[in-house]
Structure 1
Amino acid sequence: MALLPTSVPANFSTTVIYGDQNHTNHVCSEGESEEWIYTVIPVYILLITVLGIIFNVFVLMVFCLHKKACTVAEIYLSNLAAADLVLMVCLPFWAVNASKRFNWPFGLFLCKVNNLCIKMNAYCSIYFLVLVSLDRYVAVVHTMSLERIRRSKYAKLGCVLVWGLGLLLSVPTFIYRELKHNSQSHALCYINTTNTEYLLTEGILTVFSFIIPISIISYCTVKIIQALNNRFLERVNSQKMEHKATTLVLAVLLAFLICWVPFHLGRIVELLVRAEVLGGCSLINGIKICNQIFTYLAFFNSVLNPILYVIVGKNFRNKVWEVFKQWSIKRTATLNITSMRSTLSRSLKFENTSRQSASL
């Protein structure tokens, strides 16, 4: 995540350095305008953390507790909620880190693991949406010819592969994240790479985590919208169900694009600066501010998804109502059994008392 500059000066002064650590190309001083990062950002992070944990746990409970098995699309969306939940659990560490002016107090292991999990969320989220897009593409565009591949066992296998891919793409973060201490015992959790290593790894990750998946999602989305427009006048029940599911997926895709595309575009501009294609202190400082804003906008996507499930997803709302009814029935049955046991116990006690009185 673009939370900190990649190359860090030894004294951790308010300086942004781009270029090789041994041959600095751009040195630009930061203004005092970044004080908001240390005050506003921690509060914002803690707020979305609380909301994100509550909302995503709610989504997972609905999918897990519902009596019917999840559809293929719901398997992907439940895994997306799980990825969002992982991100929410990791964010409080960065709230504390930001409030301490990026003085990381949790040690090297959590520096590496916490950032590994955050990166995994970014990569897994976009590839779960790729799977969702492909599923909707098959369901709407190739309804008959490819329907046989839309099975839950294939969906679960796809989710396992996505988690594995997300972990693999996050390995460079685990390797290069380090702690650096200055004379005042200020510890900075940052990516320690040379300029060449940074350009190589970030360039590859940008291709696999943004360009390729966004291309697949865009193609599927265009084809889905075309197919829906062509079938607008049809009123077959099964197609209506598919259309409802597709509407929710398109809303989730749109929210993802709004929240994550600015972050990835900012990272591409940063790559161009470090490659010396672009330059200038105004641009560098602007990128740093924008990356902060775009990063936390991307985090908000994990809170937005569960809200969309409720607002847009009629099928999801039906599941919520059915789960609530299941819980109400079980609760009523439990109360009835408890009441019957209490009544029986009182009856037996009264009978025993009557027998003792009669014997006297």
Structure 2
Amino acid sequence: MNMDVVLDGLFSQNGSYDYDDSYEYKEDIEPGASKAVLAPVLYFLELIVGLLGNGLLLAILAKKRRSWSISDTFILHLCVADILLLVTLPFWAVQAVQQYGWSFGGFLCKISGAVFNINFYCGIFLLVCISLDRHLSIFHATQLFSQKNPRLAHMSCLLVWLASLILTIPDCVFLVARKDPAQAKTVCVHSYSQSGTDWQLVSRLLHHTLGFLLPAAALIFCCSRVLLRLRRSSDGLREQRAVTFTLPLVVVFFLCWLPYNITLIVDTFRSRSKQPDQPESSLTTALAVTSALGCVHACLRPLLYFGLCRNVRKQTLAMFRHAKVESESSLWGLGVGKEALPDQNPEGEVLKQMTSTDHQVQSTQC
């Protein structure tokens, strides 16, 4: 039996229990009423917070288009990926509320399910590009992307989208809207039973290896080396500021998406040994919970920008006040595409940089 991920499974499960006749429950409340109300409320909050945050980021990017930087390119693509995920949340909310479940047809089922994975792939691949650029800049005094030649950055982002679309082909093929006898309603799930090939295993292996394990290994490698380098204080202030902003983005991404991927790996191994007549385990609910946690990441990323970068807050207040503020070249603090500084190892230069950092840190902005 295939174990499919239903994003609203946490809220749409209606269990029936047989109680003894001697037990009476005074309040006449429908069993799934509270869950049916909770689901759209949570999706609505995520939609509003996420769209407001990412919308403000897009507005800031539009105002500084004359001084466009490489960091702006990556922020733009991250915002677009988050917005695509957010606009699909109402479909899952309606599926949780409606008695008949999914009522938007097979095409929107495929698109909505595929966008969920596209958001994850784009997020982790773009973070890998940013981390590699920071690693090369700090350790090799060179950089993957250059402000003087931004074509490589644009091509990298396009390749990220292309790779994400290719990895979501199984979702576009096998996602269907079908009647679920257990829930007595139509649900949007994967259906691999129509083919003799074990496409579920192929799809999961692609996700686990190319979509998660390899990019995660690259992020851990780059971030761990950069953290060790920062402890020795052998880099300039600009590099430290860029790294201290990039690392929270990576940490929050893993906090949101790691539980889902770990649960999916466990589900992949468990589904290999599951008998055809065996009932679904609690992993279905766990996948629903952890996938919902992954969707929250689309709301948290804009909050990180506003919380960590003073210039972003300044630009936002200026827009509300209709005031003009000079756009900062290092608005986001990522440092991607900035000219790399030469590697400095002498002890005297290290002490000089450490002293300089102490005096400058009070007046620096993200």
For the criterion TM > 0.5, the same-fold answer is yes
- Deviation at residue 289 of structure 1 after TM alignment: 1.9
| Pairing 1:324-335 to 2, within 5 Å after superposition | 327-329=322-324
For residue 291 of structure 2, the aligned residue among 287, 290, 295 is: 295
Contact 2:133 2:144 in 1 (8 A): no
> How far did 1:188 drift?
2.1
Please identify, of 110-119 and 254-263, the stretch whose mean Cα deviation from structure 2 is larger: 110-119
Residues 301-360 of structure 1 show CA distances to partners (whole Å, capped at 9, x for unaligned) of 1100000101112343455467678x4249xxxxxxxxxxxxxxxxxxxxxxxxxxxxxx
Please, which moves more after superposition, 314-323 or 198-207? 314-323
Structure 2 counterpart of 1:110: 108
Aligned partner of 2:178 among 152, 177, 180: 180
RMSD: 3.4
Query: Which range moved further: 61-70 or 177-186?
Result: 177-186
Larger Rg: 1
Quote the residue 2:223 is aligned against. 221
1:105-144 to structure 2, matched below 5 A, reads: 105-142=103-140, 144=141
* Partner of residue 92, structure 2: 94
Taking the aligned partners of 2:66 and 2:39, their CA distance within structure 1 comes to: 41
Where does residue 244 of structure 1 map in the other structure?
241
Q: Render the CA deviation track for 1:19-51: whole Å, top value 9, x for unaligned.
A: xxxxxxxxxxxxx99886544222111110111
- How many pairs does the alignment contain? 300
Does structure 1 conserve the Cα–Cα contact (< 8 Å) formed by 2:122 and 2:161? Answer: yes
**Other-structure match for 2:146:** 150
Question: Could you tell me which of 250, 260, 265 is aligned with 2:262?
Answer: 265
Report the identity percentage.
24
Give 1:281 shift.
7.5
- Conservation of the 8 A alpha-carbon contact between 2:101 and 2:187: yes
Q: Which residue of 2 aligns with 1:344?
A: none
| Structure 2 match to 1:341 | none
How far off its partner does 1:240 sit? Answer: 2.0
SS at structure 1 position matched to 2:87: helix
SS of the equivalent of 2:189 reads strand
Pick aligned residue for 2:56 from 55, 58, 61: 58
Preserved CA contact (<8 Å) 1:135 1:150: no
Q: 1:231-257 CA deviation, whole Å, 9 max, x = no partner?
A: 26x6xxxx3233222211111111001
Could you say if the C-alpha distance between residues 312 and 227 of structure 1 is closer, same or farther in structure 2, counting changes exceeding 3 Å? Answer: same
Q: CA deviation at 1:210?
A: 0.7
Mean Cα deviation higher: 259-268 or 285-294: 285-294
Match 2:201 to one of 199, 212, 225 = 199
Deviations 1:151-181 (A, max 9, x none): 4221111111111111111111010011224
Structure 2 Cα separation of the partners of residues 5 and 279 of structure 1: 24
**Residue of structure 2 equivalent to 1:2:** 5
Larger helix percent: 1
User: The residue matched to 2:282 in structure 1 has which SS?
Assistant: helix
Report the Cα distance in structure 1 between the residues aligned to 2:165 and 2:79, rounded to whole angstroms: 17
Counterpart Cα distance in 2 of 1:44 and 1:13 = 18
Q: Give, in whole Å, the separation in 1 of the partners of 2:187 and 2:54.
A: 31
Q: Quick one: distance in 1 between partners of 2:222 and 2:96?
A: 39
1:273 counterpart SS class: helix
The equivalent residue for 1:358 is none
Q: Distance in 2 between matches of 1:105 and 1:45?
A: 18
SS of 2:58 mapped into structure 1 = helix
- In structure 2, stretches of 5+ residues that fail to align are 17-29, 326-366
User: Counterpart of 1:19?
Assistant: none
Equivalent-residue separation in structure 1 for 2:121 and 2:151 (angstroms) = 22
- The answer (yes or no) to whether the contact 1:199–1:274 under 8 Å persists in 2 is no
The answer on whether the counterparts of 2:50 and 2:86 sit within 8 Å (CA) in structure 1 is yes
Preserved CA contact (<8 Å) 1:123 1:166: yes
Deviation at 1:102, TM superposition (A): 7.1
- After TM superposition, give the deviation of residue 223 of structure 1 in Å: 1.3
* Compared CA separation, residues 102 and 128, structure 1 to 2 (3 A): farther
Q: TM-score w.r.t. structure 2 length?
A: 0.72
Structure 2: how far apart are the matches of 1:173 and 1:95?
A: 20
Aligned pairs (5 A) from 1:46-85:
46-66=44-64, 69-85=67-83
Asked whether the 8 Å contact 1:66–1:322 carries over to 2, the reply is no
Measured in 2, the distance between the counterparts of 1:47 and 1:138 equals 39
SS in 2 for 1:48: helix
Mapped to 2, the partners of 1:177 and 1:14 lie a distance apart of 25
Pairs within 5 Å for 1:8-23 = none
State how far apart, in whole Å, the 1-side matches of 2:210 and 2:32 are: 32
Instruction: Determine helix, strand or coil for the equivalent of 1:136.
Output: helix
Write out per-residue CA displacement over residues 30-84 of structure 1, whole angstroms, 9 at most, x where no aligned residue: xx99886544222111110111011001111112212553432332122111110
Matched, 1:208 2:206: no
SS at match of 1:193: coil
- CA–CA separation in structure 2 for the residues paired with 1:127 and 1:56: 19
Distance across 2 between alignment mates of 1:247 and 1:131 = 16
CA distance in 2, matches of 1:190, 1:220: 36
Tell me the equivalent position of 1:307.
303
Gaps of 5+ in 1: 7-11, 16-31, 331-360
